[in-house]
Amino acid sequence: MRTRILIAFFLFCMISNQSIACDCRDSKDLKEIQNREFRNSKYIFIGEILKIDTKNHTFEVKVIESFKGAKIGKVFRGVYNKLCGPVIDEVGKWLIYGTSYSGNTIKVSVCGLTRSFKNPEHIFSVTKPPKPLPSNASKSQIEKESIAWKERAKADLAKEIADLRKRCK
């Protein structure tokens, strides 16, 4: 009997540890999320991702333009949560929202607005993917909707950066 209880307890711990899910659906209002991120982030900046270690979920980023807490030219080591994103998955220019983690390391805000300039539509916590098209939709209709979605995400990013610049004057 004791063995069964121990096995059940072990299985429960393993399952519950692996099944923790993220819920990034607290608000779909981009302005509201931007205000929350501004309040809760110690660091907000545009940075150049220099290196990525996907195995350890870490990256290296150099500050290009700072809106809060970081000096231009500073290089941070960063960590991200692979399950709750945003996931730093490509080198290049990114808008980073983060908090102190340890020493020279920052942690990207879970379910936050950190995103790349190249693919800003990958931030699923706020971007609304295109509505599913009918099954008989043409390839060009699907492509057109996808392009419109990406353009909306790029416009949102540009507006957000303009707003951050105004806040920091």
CATH of the domain at 67: 2.40.50.140
Is this prediction's pTM over 0.85?
Answer: no
In whole angstroms, give the CA distance from residue 43 to residue 30. 19
Q: Does residue 163 form part of some domain?
A: yes
Question: What's the domain range around 152?
Answer: 23-167
What one-letter code names the amino acid at 104? N
Torsion of the alpha carbons at 86, 92, 98 and 99, rounded to the nearest 10 = 120
Q: Does residue 154 form part of some domain?
A: yes
Q: Does residue 13 form part of some domain?
A: no
Beta bridge partners of 68: 44
Q: Does residue 16 form part of some domain?
A: no
Q: What pLDDT, on a 0 to 100 scale, did the predictor assign at position 13?
A: 42
Q: What pLDDT, on a 0 to 100 scale, did the predictor assign at position 103?
A: 83
Q: Does residue 34 form part of some domain?
A: yes
Enumerate residues 6+ apart whose C-beta is below 8 A from 59: 49, 50, 51, 52, 53, 77, 78, 79, 80, 88
Q: Does residue 9 form part of some domain?
A: no
Q: What total of structural domains would you count in the chain?
A: 1
Q: What letter does residue 117 receive in the DSSP assignment?
A: S
Per-position pLDDT tens, the chain of length 169: 444 433 444 434 443 344 455 666 655 677 888 888 999 999 999 999 999 999 999 999 999 999 999 999 999 999 998 888 789 999 999 999 999 888 889 999 888 899 999 999 877 555 556 667 677 778 788 888 888 888 988 999 999 999 999 988 7
Q: What pLDDT, on a 0 to 100 scale, did the predictor assign at position 25?
A: 60
Q: What pLDDT, on a 0 to 100 scale, did the predictor assign at position 128?
A: 59
Helices (H) and strands (E) in the chain, counts: 3, 6
Q: What pLDDT, on a 0 to 100 scale, did the predictor assign at position 169?
A: 75
Q: Does residue 158 form part of some domain?
A: yes
Q: Does residue 10 form part of some domain?
A: no
